Structure 1
Amino acid sequence: MKKFLPFILFLLVSITAFGQKNAKDYFVSGNEKFKAGKYAEAIKDYNQVLKLEPKHAVTFANRGVAKDRLLDYRGAIEDFTQAITLNPKYTEAYLSRGLSKYNLKDYRSALLDYNKGIELNPKDAKAYNNRGLVRYGLKDYSGAIADYDKAISLNTRYEEAYYNRGAPKYNLGDTAGACADWTKAKQLGVKEADQYLKKFCK
């Protein structure tokens, strides 16, 4: 009977390897569907990955982003939380969870996530821009401007940060500064800036 043992072991190894390959295939397929904007289909693939690899933090995070795109913010937050539980230093999961909380207008909780994400990666211009949105939601206009300033210092052609910075400046009475930011945003390609320029910068 012993002579059959290596064959059985080989068979078990093959099945295990095949299972891992399957998880990778589903993961790649899910990412491709996500990039194509097929979020519901991507989620189905990510579900299959997690059946095979239930502790794959990146898949939880990716599925969370797909749920966020489908406006399932609470489902997204659950996935990001699971990703963070598996990897407490997962910067993107904190930042993504912050955005889903922002979408639910849970600004105070979103701020905590952005603070943590920025603590883990203080060079992420997008994180400062998005935290600026959260601070604007909290009516902390000076704090919002400081975040947009930081985002622009990290990326001088960050059109969204210029566009976003205009609103808190306007609310603080700095009309000239607001109009300068909206003008810059328009030059960089933000078409929405035009309506603010026409309405507030005559």
Structure 2
Amino acid sequence: MKIRQIIYILTFWMLCNPLRAQVLDEETGFIYVKAEYLFETGRYEEAITNYNAVISRDPKYKDALIHRGQSKYALAAYKGSKMDAIQSIEIKGITAEAAGLLGRSFAAMNEIAAGINTLTAAIALDNKNSQYYEWRAVMYESDQQLLKACNDYESAMNLGSAGAENKAKILCGISKSKPSTSAIPKKDPPVVDQEHNIDQNNSTNPTTNPNPDELGQNEVLSSGAQESNTPSPTNTEENNSQVKNDTTIIDDSDPVHDENTPKNDDSVNSFVIDEDLTISISGQELGQRRIKEVPSILILADENGRVTVNICVNKEGVVTKAEFNGTMSTIAKKSLVSLALRKAKEFEFMPGKYDLQCGTMVFNIKGS
């Protein structure tokens, strides 16, 4: 009787266990979708809370670890983003995304050499991602390795980054070359009758010896192939030919302003939101660009200081990028950083003439 009861219990458990696992997996999936939505909309604190719930159930679940790390990075929690990148590498192996996050975390903690090396690994894993080149270029630039920075800005530009194109033009004098309209199309060589060609060569070559068993006056014996009299190109000639075929142009002459490139103009547009908050916008003529809509902002803080956000605005006036700038900030409180990032993306500018303008938006906070 007892054996039969045990069998019933085991059978019931085996039937219920897959159902329970399925329910848990569905719950995890629902929480993950919610976390992804919060992550995409810049609500990083809430996103981290939901990613925590997912990771506690399954650390390998999709991109939960990496996205939690990126959320922490956005909130200037660089040690946390570094640990999440390392944990992702330990669990899933090294990926370009994990290496990129780890490299940026190193750089944000002033470990520039480690950041550059890790971003180099990310580029080796995915050399088609313009962001990796752009991030490494920023590190090189901060480390005064300007030639390497320019090379990376150029690579990012060639992969389609408008922000890198602006930096390449302003910092390095590098611009994309325009396709030549006067290029002569390559034609196939004319087909020549072989027998006719041989006869013609024999009739027009006065030095040919009619007796193959005798050496001519200027002929020599050789045990191998005779060296060609055509001079081989020197390194300088090879480099010159490569420069001609390159896709970029470096202009050393006096700078001529490109109409599609914003000037390095740091005019500041400052305006008051309320008695506790003033916002200042500057960089690449953004200080001169009219604002179409300012979002409602309510900041309650008990300390004075500033939260600085790096922003990029496209031609239509949409803020396409908003990232915390820890170097120019005096406040790094997570709640204030998260609010500043979210509100920066809600700004709308009037349509402009440049494809992209990047600068800073400073939230000057007066504590109560």
Q: Determine the C-alpha separation between the residues in 1 that align with 2:140 and 2:114.
A: 11
Give the Cα–Cα distance (whole angstroms) in 2 for the partners of residues 176 and 118 of structure 1: 34
For the pair 1:159 / 2:237, whether they are aligned, the reply is no
TM-score, normalised to structure 2, is: 0.47
- Per-residue deviation at 1:41? 1.0
Whole-Å Cα distance in 2 between the matches of residues 180 and 148 of structure 1?
17
Report how far residue 81 of structure 1 moved: 1.0
| Match for residue 32 of structure 1 among 21, 24, 37 | 37
Q: Which stretch shifts more, 80-89 or 129-138?
A: 80-89
Equivalent in the alignment of 2:71: 66
| Contact 1:169–1:177 (Cα < 8 Å) also in 2 | no
Q: Which residue of structure 1 aligns with residue 83 of structure 2?
A: 78
The Cα shift of 1:3 comes to 4.6
Q: Which runs of 5+ in 2 are unaligned?
A: 174-251, 263-283, 285-352, 361-368
Once the two structures are superposed, what CA deviation does each residue of 1:5-42 show, in whole Å capped at 9, x if it has no partner?
Answer: 43321111111221222221221111111122221111
- 1:111 paired residue number: 116
Alpha-carbon distance change, 152 to 191 in structure 1, aligned in 2, over 3 angstroms = closer
Contact 1:42–1:63 (8 Å) recurs in 2? yes
Higher strand share: 2
DSSP 3-state at the match of 1:54: coil
CA RMSD after TM alignment: 2.7
Aligned equivalent of 2:132:
127
Aligned to 2:354: 187
Which secondary structure state, in structure 2, belongs to the residue aligned with residue 190 of structure 1?
strand
- CA–CA distance in 1 between the matches of 2:100 and 2:255? 28
Q: CA distance change for structure 1 residues 192 and 75 in 2, over 3 Å: closer, same or farther?
A: closer
Decide whether aligned partners of structure 1 residues 7 and 189 sit closer, same or farther in structure 2, where only a CA change above 3 A counts.
Answer: same
Q: 1:69 to 1:84 in 2, by over 3 A?
A: same
Q: TM-score, normalised by structure 1?
A: 0.82
Name the CA shift for 1:142/1:74 in 2 (closer, same or farther; >3 Å): same
Q: 1:177 to 1:159 in 2, by over 3 A?
A: farther
Alpha-carbon separation, structure 2, partners of 1:175 and 1:23: 60
Partner SS, residue 187 of structure 1: coil
Q: Is the 8 A contact 1:26 1:49 kept in 2?
A: yes
Aligned partners of 1:100, 1:181: CA distance in 2, in Å? 36
Equivalences, count: 189
Q: How much does 1:100 deviate?
A: 2.3
CA gap 1:57/1:84 in 2 versus in 1, 3 angstroms:
farther
In structure 1, distance between residues paired with 2:257 and 2:116 = 27
Q: 1:24 to 1:125 in 2, by over 3 A?
A: same
Q: Distance in 1 between matches of 2:142 and 2:256?
A: 17
Identical positions, percent? 22
Identify the match of residue 43 of structure 1 among 22, 37, 48: 48
Aligned to 2:318: none
| Equivalent in the alignment of 1:197 | none
Amino acid at match of 1:161: A
Distance 1:178 1:76 in 2: 42
CA distance in 2, matches of 1:177, 1:88: 47
Relative contact order, CA 8 A, sep 6+: which one is greater? 2
* One-letter amino acid of the counterpart of residue 79, structure 2: R
Deviates more, 1:112-121 or 1:52-61: 52-61
* The 10-residue stretch of structure 1 (80-89 or 54-63) with the greater mean CA deviation from structure 2: 54-63
By percentage of residues, which structure has more helix? 1
